[in-house]
Amino acid sequence: MPDYDPQTIETKWQKSWEEEKSFKVEADPAKPKYYLLEMFPYPSGRIHMGHVRNYTIGDALARFKWMQGFNVLHPIGWDSFGMPAENAAIQNKSHPNTWTLANIKTMTEQIKRLGLSYDWDREIATCEPKYYRWNQWCFLKFLERGLVYRKNSEVNWCESCNTVLANEQVIDGLCWRCDNEVITKLQEGWFFKITDYADRLLEGCKDLEAGWPEQVLTMQTNWIGKSYGAEVDFQIKDSNEAIKVFTTRPDTLYGATFMVLAPEHPLTLSLSRGTEQASAIDAFIKEVKSQDKIARTSEGGEKLGVFTGAYAVNPLNGETIPVWTANFVLMDYGTGAIMSVPAHDHRDFEFAKKYDLPIRIVILPPDGNTNADDLREAMTDPGPMTQSGEFDGLAGDEAKQKVCEHLQSKNIGKATVQFRLRDWGVSRQRYWGTPVPIIFCEQCGTVPVPYEDLPVKLPLDAQLGDKGQSPLKSLDSFINVPCPKCKAPAKRETDTLDTFICSSWYFDRFTSPDEENAPFSKDANRYWMAVDQYIGGIEHAILHLLYSRFFHHVFRDMGLVETREPFAHLLTQGMVIKDGAKMSKSKGNVVDPDHIIGRYGADTARLFILFAAPPTKQLEWSDQGVEGSFRFLKRVWRLFDETATILREAPGDLDTGGDLPKELKELRRHIHTAIKRVTEDIDKRMQFNTAIAAIMEFVNHLYAFREWWTSQKESSADGQALFKESVETLILLLSPFAPHIAEEMWEQMGHSQPTHHTPWPEYNEEFLKADEIEIVIQVNGKVRQKLSVPAGIDEDSLKAQSLEDPRIREWTDGKEIKKVIVVPRKLVNIVVK
């Protein structure tokens, strides 16, 4: 009678799965497909509990889908370009490639010890030329489509990482990777025109409502930030020039009492020339430029401004209004200039009060008071226009529309939209990434590397500078190339591409990882995409998930993919925490997955992680909880092991002809209840914790049944058969969560087909019904009695029986019975007074 020995069992089955290539799949139009994907890991060194949780959730689902008969694509790969490799290499005086490959090796071993159902034949690593050549291909194709451009601009710069960051990679003014403060810097670089797709990315969110968490969609929607409004031209006094502004409140145009330009706005400087404000403007521009961009753009920052010396004309009321410049107006949103309506905008109000500028109420307040002197704060609510000439009385969208029509008819403005989204800066001044496939030629200018010359290989013999400066800039063998057009000596671009490009289409590559003539095969893509279920951390809610959607939309325009969106369903798993905090080395609360697997086995680790919390919630690590899961698996093993003989001799089928004794009927009901609960918890609710709870309850019932059964003098063949059915069901229900122990028991039961190729058990509604059910009897909504009655009892008898019950009589005697509510199969509520 061997004890449960996870190490032996797990080694045995992992070896078997690997040798048999148990989870290898091919596209097969005859079978329904299911593409399950976890966000592929960065090979940082060793796996942590967050990885374990991510992959365990995915694996449970994948195995379940296999058993449901789907052709399951469940791949894994490595997001293996990026800065940590460089930093580690500098520290260890090694090479990023060496470091990365060693980490992949270590982490592969660790992942394999978890018993995950991956198709390892599809493994990819983005740092391999056969992968990143297609990043370059995408770059060139996007360039052809006008979606890539180069510009000199103020960019986010991380001093510690020595590189540019995209807007999405700046979190609270800090670098997303190293938490260092981000500064702005003028830098030339490549941009992806993601703004061209702003509207479609926004609309796509609607397609995703059924499958994505609302939170993520809200974040994406806010990030794209579409605003409806109007562009309006304000004529500059005594000049032919106009200042173009964007406003979301054209209905407040009559209240525009001054204007504000961004300090960087070209008119700020030019308007002030020749006025007595010239020197003040010069000083102000200088001051704002030295001001930290983050501080400047954060709410509550002090609003500072200076009069430019110039005036403009309000196009609707003809009033002359002063033009100011101020730090809170940004050059890169809208037109870089605003009309200020202090009565109806918080910022304008604050600014007007500070610099004593006029305020005029043009939206009627609820109390009807239009005296601006009484205004304590800006009134930003919508309302009827007032003091606005012919528009008085119009309100809301109608008012805005009418004003826009008027502007348009006079050719001084029009309805328009603005987006908060900025183009995606993809140039990185670092080494360990995809080289940008561009050559600079003095004669021909910027020349794309011809497709047939791809990949532009990243030279692996380069030595990193000790501050992370890219060695490419000084590597003559890399830089010096003939111009593809004129063959004259030219120079390669030395920037590399943002690693987020690698992860923006890897899921497409998984459909045909060995494709040599394209980033992926269209046929394979058509069969496998979209990803049916994507699983990963919420930290990618904007970054990776937005970029991937952008790529997918472009691919669709290129005719490479057919689905509208790449990820049909998204699950954002919660964090793993311990002692109330995220696991981290600095806090010393890290639990090493290897340690847990070594001590209890992968099945215990998996079971605990799935049982401790629903997948989307954060999970508090508990060593005692792990003990509990281990104890449960031992309990399952014992149940199986101690009855192995009985199970082996059991007849295959139940002799259903005879009426079963009560205990057997009960057992059968427990089997089918367990199947129903586990199936629905996985499939409909994705709530593994309750699925496992249902299995635990089932096991408790099996123990109770076994005790009753072994106490019987004679054991019936039906009992034996049903017990066998119970244990086999248990094994199958358990197998997505704890696959090794399940597989071992399954084999010992005499099955040659592995569990993941065995159909998922089905329940029979008929067997879910009990003969006797418990009905709760309430008096005035309080539970006073519980009755066991036949399941088929009719309402009237139930009602009568309830009213006659002695204990209920104690509450109802001498009182007037106002009403009796009967909820079939559940309760009776007697209302008395």
d(CA 340, CA 350): 11
- Indicate whether 455 belongs to the interface with RNA (CB under 7 A): no
Q: Please, which residue, 531 or 808, has the CB nearer to RNA?
A: 808
Q: How far apart are CA 514 and CA 511, in angstroms?
A: 9
Give the interface segment with RNA, choosing from 183-191, 223-231, 444-452, 760-768 (CB under 7 A): 223-231
Q: How far is the CB of 831 from RNA (least distance, A)?
A: 5
> What residues from 286 to 315 belong to the interface with RNA (CB under 7 A)?
296-299, 301-303
Residue number with CB closer to RNA (51 or 676): 676
Instruction: Please state whether the peptide bond connecting residue 455 to the residue before it is cis, i.e. omega within 30 degrees of 0.
Output: yes
Can you spell out the DSSP letters for 244-284?
Answer: EEEES-GGGGGG--EEEE-TTSHHHHHHHTTSTTHHHHHHH
Q: How many CB atoms lie within 10 A of CB 574?
A: 17
Q: Does 631 engage in binding with RNA (CB under 7 A)?
A: yes
Member of 10, 681, 728, 805 binding RNA (CB under 7 A)? 681
| Phi, psi angle pair for 300, to nearest 5° | 90, -10
Angle at alpha carbon of residue 119, lines to 117 and 124, rounded to 5°: 125
- For residue 819, state whether it binds RNA (rule: CB under 7 A): yes
- The distance of closest approach from Cβ of residue 140 to RNA in the complex, given in angstroms and rounded to an integer, is 31
The residue among 174 and 590 lying less far from RNA, judged by its C-beta, is 174
Least distance to RNA from the beta carbon of 37, Å?
A: 22
Smallest separation (angstroms) from RNA to the CB of 516: 39
Q: Out of 374, 627, 655, 772, which residue is the one contacting RNA (CB under 7 A)?
A: 627
- Work out whether 333 is an interface residue with RNA (CB under 7 A): yes
Closest CA to 339 of 263, 273, 278, 254: 254
Question: What is the residue type of 172?
Answer: D
Segment contacting RNA by CB under 7 A, of 191-199, 201-209, 512-520, 621-629: 621-629
Site for RNA in 66-105 (CB under 7 A): none
Q: Rounded to an integer, what distance in angstroms lies between the CA atom of residue 361 and that of residue 581?
A: 51
Q: Which residue has the tokens 């293996």?
A: 80
CB of 630 to RNA, least distance (A): 8
Q: Which of 196, 292, 666, 680 binds RNA (CB under 7 A)?
A: 680
Three-state secondary structure of 680-721: HHHHCCCCHHHHHHHHHHHHHHHHHHHHHHHHCCCCCHHHHH
Per-residue CA distances from 67 to 70, 222, 530 (Å): 7, 40, 21
Would you tell me how many other CB atoms lie within 10 Å of the CB of residue 167? 16
> How far apart are alpha carbons 555 and 551 in whole angstroms?
6
What is the identity of the amino acid at 475? L
Q: Could you say whether residue 703 binds RNA (CB under 7 A)?
A: yes
Cα separation, 584 vs 601, whole angstroms: 23
Footprint of RNA on 736-775 (CB under 7 A)? 774
Residues 255-284 that bind RNA (CB under 7 A): 262
| Residues 416-445 interacting with RNA (rule: CB under 7 A) | 418, 420
> Looking at beta carbons only, is 590 or 832 nearer to RNA?
832
In the region spanning residues 464 to 523, those forming contacts with RNA, defined by CB under 7 A, are none
Q: Which residue number, 758 or 780, has a Cβ lying nearer to RNA?
A: 780
Interface with RNA (CB under 7 A), residue total: 92
Contacting residue, 39, 201, 568, 696, with RNA by CB under 7 A? 696
Using the rule CB under 7 A, is 710 a contact of RNA? no
Q: How far is the CB of 507 from RNA (least distance, A)?
A: 24
Q: In the chain, what are the helix, strand and coil shares in percent, each to the nearest 5? A: 45, 20, 35
Residue of 12, 33, 150, 347 that binds RNA (CB under 7 A): 347
Binding of residue 685 to RNA (CB under 7 A): yes
Q: Is 246 in the site for RNA (CB under 7 A)?
A: yes
Q: Which two structure tokens, joined as six digits, stand for 667?
A: 């057992």
- Could you list the beta-strand ranges (E) of 143-254: 148-158, 163-165, 170-171, 174-175, 182-192, 226-236, 242-247
Beta carbons within 8 Å of 40's beta carbon, 6+ residues apart:
76, 77, 78, 79, 503, 506
The nearest distance, CB 392 to RNA, in angstroms, is 21
Contact between 156 and RNA per CB under 7 A: no
d(CA 702, CA 734) in angstroms, rounded, equals 14
CA distance 418 to 425: 19
Contact status: 638 vs RNA (CB under 7 A): yes
Within 196-215, the residues that bind RNA by CB under 7 A are 214-215
Site for RNA in 158-177 (CB under 7 A): 171-172
CA distances from 341 to 7, 248, 369, 546 (A): 72, 11, 17, 35
Q: How far is the CB of 150 from RNA (least distance, A)?
A: 23
Residue choice 60, 605, 613, 675 for contact with RNA (CB under 7 A): 613
Is 826 a residue that touches RNA (CB under 7 A)? yes
Compute how many other C-beta atoms are within 10 angstroms of the C-beta atom of residue 256.
Answer: 30
Nearer to RNA, 107 or 576 (CB): 576
Q: Is 662 in the site for RNA (CB under 7 A)?
A: no
Of 18-26, 49-57, 328-336, 525-533, the segment contacting RNA by CB under 7 A is: 328-336
- By CB under 7 A, residue 328 contacts RNA: yes
Site residues (CB under 7 A) for RNA, limited to 535-594: 538, 541-542
Which three-class secondary structure state does DSSP give residue 144? helix
Among 219, 395, 412, 789, indicate the residue that binds RNA (CB under 7 A): 219
User: Least distance (Å) from RNA to the CB of residue 410?
Assistant: 19
Work out which of 163, 388, 778, 802 binds RNA, going by CB under 7 A: 778
Q: Which is nearer to RNA, 4 or 431 (CB)?
A: 4
Work out whether strand 533-537 and strand 570-573 pair parallel, antiparallel, or are unpaired.
parallel
Residue 591 vs 704, nearer CB to RNA: 704
**Token pair listed for 678:** 């586990």
Residue among 101, 330, 646, 749 that touches RNA (CB under 7 A)? 330
Q: Are 180 and 485 contacting, i.e. CB atoms less than 8 angstroms apart?
A: no
Distance CA 84, CA 82 (A): 6
DSSP annotation of 531 reads B
Residues 784-803 within binding reach of RNA (CB under 7 A): 784, 786
Q: How far is the CB of 226 from RNA (least distance, A)?
A: 9
Does residue 612 touch RNA according to CB under 7 A? yes
Site stretch for RNA (CB under 7 A), options 72-80, 85-93, 204-212, 689-697: 689-697
Looking at 33-41, 156-164, 594-602, 816-824, which segment touches RNA (CB under 7 A)? 816-824
Cα distances (Å, whole numbers) of residue 15 to 12, 114, 755, 774: 5, 12, 16, 50
| Nearer to RNA (CB atom), residue 46 or residue 685 | 685
How many CB atoms are located within 10 Å of the residue 489 CB? 11
- Closer CB to RNA, residue 24 or residue 826? 826
Could you give the residue ranges of the DSSP H alpha helices within 538-622?
Answer: 543-557, 593-600, 602-611
Instruction: Out of 129, 225, 358, 383, name the contact with RNA by CB under 7 A.
Output: 225
CB 387 within 8 A of CB 254: yes
Q: Which is nearer to RNA, 299 or 452 (CB)?
A: 299
d(CA 473, CA 468) in angstroms, rounded, equals 12
Residue of 569, 634, 665, 751 interacting with RNA (CB under 7 A): 634
| Least distance between RNA and beta carbon 589 (Å) | 15
Query: Applying CB under 7 A, does 218 fall inside the site for RNA?
Result: yes
